Amino acid sequence: METRQLGNSDLHITPIGIGAWAIGGGGWNGSMGPQNDSDSVPAIHAALDHGLNWIDTAALYGLGHSEEMVARALKGRVPRPYVFTKCERVWDADGTVGACLKADSIRRECEDSLRRLQTDVIDLYQIHWPEPDEDIEEGWAELARLKQEGKVRHIGVSNFSVAQMQRAQLIAPITSLQPPYAVVRREIEHEILPFCQSQNIGVIVYSPMYAGLLTGAMTRERVANFLAEDWRRNLPGFKEPELSRNLRVVEHLREIGSRHDRTPGEVAIAWTLNHPAVTGAIVGFRSPQQVAGIIGAAEYRLLPSEVAEIEDALKRDVAA
């Protein structure tokens, strides 16, 4: 399978990687609902068996549970994929989530992640959110120290603006940025992607299927029946009038995919990978069956005429 170099690192990653948000399960603020642990390990194994070579998780997902599930899935696995995780989101004994970029907190989080992941080194350690903004320099300087000490191989950021990345660069180079990007969520195209491309900062995008809305399996009925804890209930794209527009986009993707025996989700992922600044896309898998419906995106590429077709369809929808 094709691989791409991630920014200034020596990591060569497959075009899509395994997202471990959903396997964190339910019961925490920001979850995607309950998850059966007995499905998580086979899902990860299925994705790895298809050739994917990286997993993206975070301490936040399931308040540590996702990292533990990743460790369980990788136990004895050869070759071992790259493991990326994140810091800055912290929680108390009651599970209340907060933000901290203080150096001692970052170091403690790193040690906790190393323990949960059952590894001696993290391949890519990322600041999850640039919050609190005034502590970005302190947090980033601590990530740089962790890299110097060999606890992490490379360091990156997530959800940063250009101005925030520029501040971090004054302290240490940034290997990668992790932003949201999808055919229906394109804010990063204006400044962030051109900046990353000019600075050799790798980009691994999350939510390329817009939290599952672009998979082709989402319906108004499913959206209406989301559990109260499902964070997607609050996303603008899952509410009217955007929901109807986005479901029309899915039909455009379905039409293109049908010509190549690809799912709407695979077309949506391929669309993000078409941008020259994007190194890879994070795709969440809850079960081996989901892997089978998405894995083709690792090698499927849109024709230039199909990219133009999607653009025309989007313009028509906006005009309507």
Q: Exposed, middle or buried by CB within 10 Å (0-12, 13-18, 19+), for 1?
A: exposed
Q: How confident is the model at residue 225 (pLDDT cuts 50, 70, 90)?
A: confident
191: which 2 tokens?
A: 């400044």
6-24 residue pLDDT tens: 999 999 999 999 999 999 9
Give the per-residue pLDDT at 282. Answer: 97
Q: Is the pLDDT of residue 320 over 70?
A: no
Give the per-residue pLDDT at 101. Answer: 98
178: which 2 tokens?
A: 């992790």
Q: What is the mean pLDDT of the chain?
A: 94
In this prediction, residues 293-301 reach a mean pLDDT of 91
Give the per-residue pLDDT at 224. Answer: 83
In this prediction, residues 210-219 reach a mean pLDDT of 86
List of domains in the chain: 4-212+268-299 (3.20.20.100)
In this prediction, residues 23-32 reach a mean pLDDT of 84
Q: How confident is the model at residue 260 (pLDDT cuts 50, 70, 90)?
A: very high
Tell me the CB-side half-sphere exposure of residue 187, using CA atoms within 13 A: 6
In this prediction, residues 211-238 reach a mean pLDDT of 82
User: What is the set of active-site residues?
Assistant: 61
Q: How confident is the model at residue 239 (pLDDT cuts 50, 70, 90)?
A: confident
Which residue is listed with tokens 């999607």? 310
Strand partners, 206: 180
Q: Is the pLDDT of residue 319 over 60?
A: no
Least confident among 63-67, 176-180, 246-250: 246-250
In this prediction, residues 185-206 reach a mean pLDDT of 97
Give the per-residue pLDDT at 215. Answer: 87
Give the per-residue pLDDT at 179. Answer: 98
Give the per-residue pLDDT at 211. Answer: 84
In this prediction, residues 257-270 reach a mean pLDDT of 95
Least confident among 25-34, 108-117, 265-274: 25-34
Q: Is the pLDDT of residue 315 over 60?
A: yes
Give the per-residue pLDDT at 220. Answer: 84
Strands (E) in 179-304, as ranges, are: 202-205, 280-284
Higher pLDDT, 173 or 292: 173
Q: Is the pLDDT of residue 213 over 80?
A: yes
Q: How confident is the model at residue 318 (pLDDT cuts 50, 70, 90)?
A: low
150: which 2 tokens?
A: 């060999």
Q: Is the pLDDT of residue 72 over 90?
A: yes
- Per-residue buried b or exposed e for 40-64, using 16+ beta carbons within 10 Å of the residue's own CB: bbbbbebbbebebbbbbbbbbbbbb
Is the alpha carbon torsion for 309, 311, 314, 320 positive or negative? negative
In this prediction, residues 297-313 reach a mean pLDDT of 93
Give the per-residue pLDDT at 151. Answer: 98
